[in-house]
Structure 1
């Protein structure tokens, strides 16, 4: 619940993030490891018609980001979607949104870790076997957990380098690869079935997610009513253009071979640029994903720390290292959870679970946008307005519902089970949390 203490805490934050800074943050968080693998997944499901799935995701995200823009321009509190939902509907829905945010981060981190291991194996063949893959994951998470336990500064050093290493090779492939496209490889016969398109889109939307994380520091954004909508729009146009362009290059260069590729962009670079191009993309992918995994290993455990601190989970999770002053127990527990998921699951399985959680979170934010507008909640300044603002959240919900029709029963059971457990925890700890607050 946002009380007077929360308000004072928020007012002490420096509002320094502008349009370009926030847009760059969204692009950096969104363009992660997924794009290095997803063109193959989309092609295997839809063949030459795969670009349609990108367009579906772009339309879906366009509606969703309008909801984020509306909600973000009305709520200036730190927490992003968690704050939007809590302000709109109260503590329990807000808590569930926070749990979903943690679930998204956990599954997404595990999914990207699998691509990281595969890319490293492609770059260094000796690390390409299944046993070596497990060892790589063990070493990486042990090392990153140790680094992040030692301090926040050490855990964030790689981010700037990773951003440059990620974007420059992709831009190079996009520009040079366009000249190596063979037109027949882009041809496709007939329109895909709606169910196949939905299933492909539910996987592909993994590459478009990230806004929910980039908007968490809303309490540090200046002029939220103007900055958040413009930054989201600028970032989404950039991301969508790059994704569609990269897929068309990969499909146009590799043709039918794209669907079977474990490293599609690297393989396309090998054809368009030669062996050095493949190496460049693989190195960029490895550095990029290592930066992502490192950054998420820094960020995601803080959710467990907060849940322990606030009395929802054992207080041991809120322990702070006496020397390094970091949430070392939460970091270790989170790393073990993600490691287990990465070893036992495939990228597609983990990405779908992350996307299911993401879409449920997006649906909650769409409803929150409608409710905040209905109650005329304002954060200062004129809230962001779009044509048919009352209709947009329900259009977003309709698209989300269609995408969710492709989710299988066992996938629903995993995420549904997490939500049920979260509800039980919320009510089971209510007495203890209330007594602690009163004390």
Structure 2
């Protein structure tokens, strides 16, 4: 299969757009609820635990930064796995990530409806909830069909509206931070370290989104690695400051049930609670916008590489966007969000994502070896040989060991379904084109 020259995606994503993708992929609903859950087990060590986990997980991010520096095409993890291990591995990786992003998109849409319902009583019923979900999903779907610039603009608005209240919360709460809170004398032991770390890692996944849109990014081989590392580092520091304010403002007895909304209420009364709740809504909105921009490109990349029917590789003749993949994701997410049947898939999505990380990290040696001399010289090459990739693999495997059997079962079923589609396309699709 070949894509016609006129059906090419436009490189309308610059450095800021790429940074918005990483930021919105990472900051969703998690940071508004995670601090209390982590603090129950880690107490005053929570801020430092966030920082340590983020630093360790940076080994995975750095591998993706190098991988991104070898490619200018759309697909990200799909391309990495395909080049190293063949089309079957590439399809499996892309399929897992597409399902993971779509189910998470559906889940976050319902959470946004719940937050809006808590803000306004008129939006609290079942019918308003369905209307909110439909409006958000259809609106983001249409905005992304109209053009990648509109999708990036939507992310920019959401980024400002969710980041500004978080920064204000840190600035207001810093007056409550004491020396004993910043450098606690508490024991370095953390209760249930495995599950606590697995919970925290959810705040750091989603960065891989940026590699998927390389085909629409200006100078992606130079832009993406720098943006990826810089944005993840910035977000890790922001997480540290947010959790530091949380443990400084909230009493230990209230950790279990407290969220950042409670921190806002403690700092600025009802207005503070309202502002943070509003920030949560836009945080989820930004995450949704990033998912809708990136995930359809996975389907497009799979179709472009003859791993899904060519129908999915269609690019809108006027807007130069993968319109059919965008609409398919929108319809699927809408159905999942309204039916609620996506819950178990959303739980399994974390396992799917970690599996895709492992495949991508393992692909690095082959990609390094096969890159042309000119590409190799300009690549974002990691220092220390394979030390950092090995650290990333160990972390991913250790996290997978913390997962439950039901998640593995769900992922296995989804993989089988995906491979049936793949086999059908390879057998009959190629026959029709030959």
Q: Distance in 2 between matches of 1:230 and 1:306?
A: 23
- Superposed counterparts of 1:34-433, under 5 Å: 34-51=30-47, 53-125=49-121, 132=125, 134-147=126-139, 150=142, 152-153=145-146, 156=151, 158-181=154-177, 188-193=186-191, 196-221=192-217, 224-256=220-252, 257-261=254-258, 264-294=259-289, 296-297=291-292, 300=295, 326-327=323-324, 328=327, 330-341=329-340, 345=343, 352-376=347-371, 380=375, 381-433=377-429
Deviation at 1:288, TM superposition (A): 3.0
The answer (yes or no) to whether the contact 2:8–2:315 under 8 Å persists in 1 is no
Aligned to 2:14: 17
In structure 2, the gaps of 5 or more residues are none
State how far apart, in whole Å, the 1-side matches of 2:328 and 2:96 are: 21
Sort the Cα spacing of 1:427 and 1:389 in 2 relative to 1 into closer, same or farther, 3 A. Answer: same
1:337 Cα deviation from its structure 2 partner: 2.1
Q: Alignment length, in residue pairs?
A: 422
1:341-369 superposed Cα distances (whole Å, 9 cap, x missing partner):
4x774xxx776533222211111110112
Distance 1:136 1:56, change over 3 A: farther
CA distance in 2, matches of 1:233, 1:308: 29
Q: Deviation of residue 107 (structure 1)?
A: 3.0
SS of the residue aligned with 2:208? helix
RMSD: 3.7
| Native 8 Å contact 1:110 1:350 kept in 2 | no
Task: Kindly state the Cα deviation for residue 62 of structure 1 after the two structures are TM-superposed.
Answer: 1.0
Gaps of 5+ in 1: none
Retained in 1: the 8 A contact 2:46–2:244?
Answer: no
Write out per-residue CA displacement over residues 260-319 of structure 1, whole angstroms, 9 at most, x where no aligned residue. 12xx11110111222211111111221332343355356545656777898867899889
CA deviations on 1:127-155 (whole Å, 9 max, x unpaired) are 55xxx3x5444222322344356553497
Q: TM-score, normalised on structure 1?
A: 0.82
Q: CA deviation at 1:85?
A: 1.5
Report the CA distance shift for 1:419/1:57 in structure 2 as closer, same or farther (over 3 A): farther
Q: Which moved more, 1:70-79 or 1:39-48?
A: 39-48
Q: Quote the Cα distance in structure 1 between the aligned partners of 2:297 and 2:20.
A: 23
DSSP 3-state at the match of 1:74? coil
